[in-house]
Amino acid sequence: MEESIIIIGSNGQIGTELATALRLKYGESRVVTSDIRQPITASPGPFEIVNVLDKEALQSLFEKYRPTQVYLLAAVLSAVGEQQPKMAWDLNMTGLLNVLDLSVEYGVNKVFWPSSIAVFGPHSPKEETPQYCVMDPNTVYGLSKQAGERWCEYYFNKYGLDVRSIRYPGLISWKAAPGGGTTDYAIHIFHEALRKGSYTCFLSADTRLPMLYMEDAIRGTLQLMDAPSEKLTIRSSYNLTGPSFTPSDLSEAIKQHIPEFSIDYAENDPRQAIADGWPSSINDEYARNDWGWKPQFDLAALTAEMISNLKQHLETT
Ligand code: AKB
C-alpha cells in the first residue's frame, strides 16, 4: 500500500527536519505538511493550513488525504506553557484527542506523538531515570505529556490504534528555531557563540540535562515508526537519550572550536525551576532492546556539527 503521510505542526523544530526525512524516504507528494501558518521557506510538497483545535478542518484534511501515517507535532513547550497554562493544556490535550479520534475513524495505520522528559518530576530518580518510576511532573507541559501518554496507551488498548511515541530530551538543531523550551539554551548558545563570541545562559553552570542531536532524533523516530508492531512493548512513550551535559560542559566543548568564547549565567530565571525538576540523565534500555536504538552523536560530535552547519547556515541566510 502506498503511504500517505500527514505532519501536523510541521513548521517547528522537529517538523521541519522530519518532513525532509519523510519526503526523502516516501517521495515529496506522499508527505503533506500542515501548520497554522505558512512555512518560512516554501514547502516542496503539499502544504495545508490547519489548526489542530479545529476538528472540522482537521477532518477535512483526513478526508482529503486519507492518511496511512499521522505525525502530530503541534504543541506548546515547557517555558511558554508556564506563561499560558490553560492554553498549553488545551492545545496539547485537545489537539491530541482530535488526532487520536480521527485516526481511529479513518483507519490510520500508525500515529506518532512526541512526549518528553518533562513527564518526570522532582521525585523521579534524577540519574539514569528509568522507563517506569515515580512521575510527578510539575509543569503544565509535563502534565499534558503525562496525560497524553496515558491516552495514547488507552487508544492502543481500546481501539487497536498503533500509536508510537518517544520521550524526547532536549533536541539540538540548527535548521529551525526552537519553540519556547527549557533546553533551548543549548541551541541559543551556538547562535550567540558564532554571532558575538559570548552567551548569558538562563540555566546555572551545573544544570545537567539529557540531550539529543536532531539527526539522531529523526533517525530514532523513523526507526521506531518502522519497527514491527509486535516488537514494541511500550505504547505510552519510550525513554530516549543522547549525551547528558551541563551548560559549563557545553561551553568547554564550544571553546575547543572558538577559544575566545565566554559564558556567564543569569540568576533567577523561571526556567531554572523547570530544569531542576527534570532528570539529569535517562535510561533508554527499552528503546535499545525493543527496536535497536543507539545514538551516534556525543557532546564533542554534536558541537562540531552544530558549529560547522550553523556557521554555513548563518552565512547564507
Ligand atoms: C522543553 O525544553 O520544553 C523541550 C522538552 C525537553 O520537551 N525541549
pLDDT per residue as tens digits for the range 231-245: 999 999 999 999 999
- Residue 143 CB–ligand 1 contact under 6 Å: no
Does the pLDDT value for residue 41 go beyond 90? Answer: no
Query: What is residue 43's predicted lDDT score, i.e. its pLDDT?
Result: 86
All cell numbers assigned to 213? 542531536
- Nearest 5 degrees, angle CA 201-CA 203-CA 205? 85
Ligand 1 atom with the shortest distance to the CA of 183: 2
Of 233, 119, 110, the closest CA to residue 164 belongs to: 110
Q: How far is the CA of 116 from the centre of ligand 1 (A)?
A: 7
All cell numbers assigned to 258? 572558538
Confidence label for 179 from pLDDT (cuts 50, 70 and 90): confident
Please give, one letter per residue, the 3-state secondary structure of the chain.
Answer: CCCCEEEECCCCHHHHHHHHHHHHHHCHHHEEEEECCCCCCCCCCCEEECCCCCHHHHHHHHHHHCCCEEEECCCCCHHHHHHCHHHHHHHHHHHHHHHHHHHHHCCCCEEEEEEEHHHCCCCCCCCCECCCCCCCCCCHHHHHHHHHHHHHHHHHHHHCCCEEEEEECEEECCCCCCCCCCCCHHHHHHHHHHHCCEEEECCCCCCCEEEEEHHHHHHHHHHHHHCCHHHCCCCCCEECCCCEECHHHHHHHHHCCCCCCEEEECCCCHHHHHHHCCCCCECCHHHHHHHCCCCCCCHHHHHHHHHHHHHHHHHHC
Second-level CATH architecture of 5-169+212-239: 3-Layer(aba) Sandwich (3.40)
Q: How far is the CA of 156 from the centre of ligand 1 (A)?
A: 25
Q: How far is the CA of 182 from the centre of ligand 1 (A)?
A: 6
Does the pLDDT value for residue 1 go beyond 80? Answer: no
- Residue 117 CB–ligand 1 contact under 6 Å: yes
CATH 3.40.50.720 occupies which residues in the chain? 5-169+212-239, 170-211+243-315
**What is the Cα–Cα distance from 247 to 264, expressed in whole angstroms?**
10
Ligand 1 atom with the shortest distance to the CA of 145: 7
pTM of the model: 0.97
Confidence label for 108 from pLDDT (cuts 50, 70 and 90): very high
* Ligand 1 atom 4, closest CA: 181
Q: Ligand 1: which of 91, 168, 241 to mutate, judged by most atoms within 8 Å of the beta carbon?
A: 168
Confidence label for 42 from pLDDT (cuts 50, 70 and 90): confident
170-211+243-315 placed in CATH 3.40.50.720: yes
Amino acid at 126: K
